[in-house]
A and B are shown apart, each in its own frame.
Chain A
């Protein structure tokens, strides 16, 4: 993984010292809250319902065991012993004290981490396929390009005060596991006409109040021009994006108001006259950054393993975990293993400090010292020898982290909602827990098959409800929490925004409504169909009728 050079270290240390001074001036009264707020938000520090919340950047979801242990230590020492992995591959602490923040930031800097660009109207932490560098279907590792984007965008003077926040996701694989369709810019590495890899560039995707799937602005961008082209997109947005209305300030609104053709024309015109040579990285610098992402040396191991096969036959929980949480690796003797943070009873995405230490140990023992964070709020050990799976699984069972529900109904994405968040209108965590309880039976989840259920506690859609096969949005209706259900969203390749199925449900009625939807799917599905297949074939009618009765 990337290691800080002297410039990075000095820069992050300077930022820690700067914010330490700002905190001290706030506490001493030299800064009012109005003056301090934009400064703390520049450092990932929010004031939420119960306390301050600190959001820590995990660049493109990659963590070393040392970093994960430091996060565990921070949770123990300065928070309440747990953190929350977010849908942007970041980590949030929910109970940090303002007075402790300088110490926390210094501890993060000790392991090459920080909170810069985790909030504010700038280019946010770039996200990526969490299986990057390991996946069997990968054309090219996206992480070096994420790192290049990170370095380029960090405190970029031109783009430090954009109309609104800006999110970029990069995938280098055949399957889109980074929800690139729902980002301000989505980048897919593709093979070009001359056999060279480049980027297929999408723009204007996003969730929130006005969800859009990103539109293709360029079918193929030569890799060496990534920065200059992204710069032109940002420049057009920075100039023409609305600043008068926060609800219309994201690039998706601009793209859809201008139309993709006109937006493309403006970007291409800017790009044509831009000084590409002053922005695009020279070849040797690209190579230097790529060298940090040299794949780990994985000794050859057998592609099949008798121990795994024997265990699969006699242990159904292991077989389920193997089927859902273990994904193919580019090396035949290896796999990537998903550690679900979604067992029934757990707040989706929460991990306590002991869990973090435990996963760090497992990464050292089983996964070439690497851990990944998935935007679906799970952890991943990317490089596990197939033959080690029974031993890894036994450890996970011991640590209470062996739930085999990845990409099944129980693997819900869920924002913090009104239990923590100042923006939320309704709770999401208790609803997720009630649904998890209702569908706790692994055999039933197995019968249902792949089903992405996403839930947000407000219209800002941190819980990605728009892209859920089943999406739940909590709203406040005259003081009562009400939950709108949408169906048919898809975060993957045929990205789609879900359709609201009808009037909302009160909290206590939501699990039953989800059950009704699932049963309607099971009753109507053709052989081999997923929930999404059945929805795409039948549309809303049978689901509406089941939920609300005949029209």
Chain B
């Protein structure tokens, strides 16, 4: 199962992922996948630089699965983070993203 590296952006706390094209993305589909342990370590090393550069905080790798070109988080917690909102705002108010 591939890994991605996730974090919260320092200035606003928003959930982000280390992106394919460098930088950080809010979209899990754009996250860079690490297929091996060494690749995961490389992503973490890159993330450490972003911590030092004050771009992100709270960095960690997490496993994902890829289905029909879409990247899915596995745990409930990570699915909620990837959605960038509570899963239940549709009833009463829609949280703008």
A residues lining the B interface (CB < 8 Å): 26-27, 29, 33, 47-52, 80-82, 95, 97-99, 345-347, 350, 352, 418-420, 424, 426-427, 429-430, 433, 476, 479, 481
> Inside 8 A of A479's CB, which chain B residues have their CB?
74-76
Please determine whether B77 and A49 come into contact, CB atoms closer than 8 angstroms.
Answer: yes
Whether A50 lies near B81 (C-beta < 8 A) is yes
Q: Give, as a whole number of angstroms, the nearest-CB distance from A523 to chain B.
A: 32
Since A51-B13, A98-B12, A429-B88 are in contact, a sample of 14 more A-B pairs with Cβ atoms closer than 8 Å, ordered by chain A residue number, is: A26-B10, A47-B8, A49-B80, A50-B14, A80-B96, A81-B93, A82-B93, A95-B95, A98-B13, A347-B86, A347-B89, A420-B86, A427-B87, A433-B91
Assess whether B88 is in contact with A97, with CB atoms less than 8 Å apart.
no
Which residue of A80, A98, A346, A429 contacts B11 across the interface (Cβ within 8 Å)? A98
Tell whether A52 pairs with B13 under 8 Å between CB atoms, given A47-B58, A418-B77, A479-B75: yes
Q: A80-B96, A98-B12, A429-B86 are in contact. Are A33 and B57 (CB under 8 A)?
A: yes
Report the minimal beta-carbon distance from B56 to chain A, rounded to whole angstroms. Answer: 10
How many residues of B sit at the interface, in one of the four size bands? 20 to 34
A50, B84: Cβ atoms under 8 Å?
yes
| Complex Cα gap A347–B86 (Å) | 11
Bound CA span A470–B57, Å = 39
Contact residue among A50, A97, A426, A433 (Cβ-Cβ distance under 8 Å from B85): A50
Contact partners of A430 in chain B: CB under 8 A: 87-88
Chain B contact residues, majority secondary structure: loop
Contacts of A481 in B (CB 8 A): 76
In contact, A419 and B12 (Cβ under 8 angstroms): no
Q: Which of B13, B57, B91 has the most CB of A within 10 A?
A: B13
Q: In the complex, A359 Cα to B87 Cα: how many Å? A: 28
Any A CB within 8 A of the CB of B41: no
In Å, the complex CA distance between A27 and B81 comes to: 24
* Among A80, A420, A476: residue with most chain B CB under 10 A: A80
Q: Is the CB of B92 within 8 A of A51?
A: no
In the bound complex, residues from chain A placing their C-beta under 8 Å from that of B51 are 33
Q: In the complex, A52→B9 CA distance in Å?
A: 10
Residues in chain B near residue A26, CB distance under 8 A: 10, 54
